[in-house]
Amino acid sequence: MGRIIALALAGDGADVAIGYHRSGAAARRTVSELRALGVRAVALRADLGKPAEARGLIAGAVRRLGRIDVLVNNAAIFFRTPLATATAAQFDRLIAVNLRGAFLCSQAAARAMGRRGGRIINIADVGATRAWPGYIAYGVSKAGVVMLTKGLAAALAPGIQVNAVGPGLVLLPEGFPRQSGRRLAARIPMRRSGAAEDVAAAVNFFATCPEYITGQILYVDGGASVV
């Protein structure tokens, strides 16, 4: 998802700083793809579950590229946390990366944007509006991202616009049974799964949309959130 979003933004001429945790080789390959499009690109390692590294990611992007105009909070982790077996550590880790990391990156980016202004685009999830018993902590983290988006939009107006994109059935977890994926797709009004490119197009919209649009959540879910 992050790679496709980065390529879409670069396709519109944006220089891109990529944050990664463990996927260093993939991040470097993406940087090469971005540079081939004629833009500047760097990859910066950070564990967004650690506050100092989340802030350092933004500082590093500004140091390497000179400024920041658009922040896309895409980093997230996703794993099962059934009520009967979930641990406090698992819950805390999901909140730390998916929600607190987005907050800290947004806080640092807003300071870097300053009076010049800019855009913050959060990646939420249709799971913010639907209860998944096996993924309670993940759903809580993404519901928090929705409220974070609204709170930041109110706090940072008028200079910085903050919106969110909520993907639906776009990327299934690694190892997820294909047959189960097809059953899920059959329940969606559009009767199919989406693509990362659909999400990237929505991110590009918020990166370039009129400044009067802020605090909005755009679900890219084939209609799943309305049934």
Structural domains of the chain sorted by starting position, each given as residue range(s) with its CATH number in brackets: 69-226 (3.40.50.720)
Name the one residue in this structure whose structure tokens are 């979003």: 5
- Which residues of the chain are modeled with pLDDT < 50? none
Q: What is the pLDDT of residue 93?
A: 97
Q: Is 183 exposed, middle or buried (0-12, 13-18, 19+ CB in 10 A)?
A: exposed
Cα–Cα dist 113/117, whole Å:
5
pLDDT tens figures, 55-74: 999 999 999 999 999 999 99
**b vs e for 75-108, b when ≥16 Cβ sit within 10 Å of the residue's Cβ?**
bbbbeebeeeebeeebbebbbbbbbbbbbbbbbb
Q: Are 36 and 52 in contact (CB under 8 A)?
A: no
pLDDT at 217: 98
The residue annotated as part of the active site, out of 20, 135, 138, 219, is 138
Determine the pLDDT at residue 178.
80
Confidence (pLDDT) at 173: 67
212 is catalytic: no
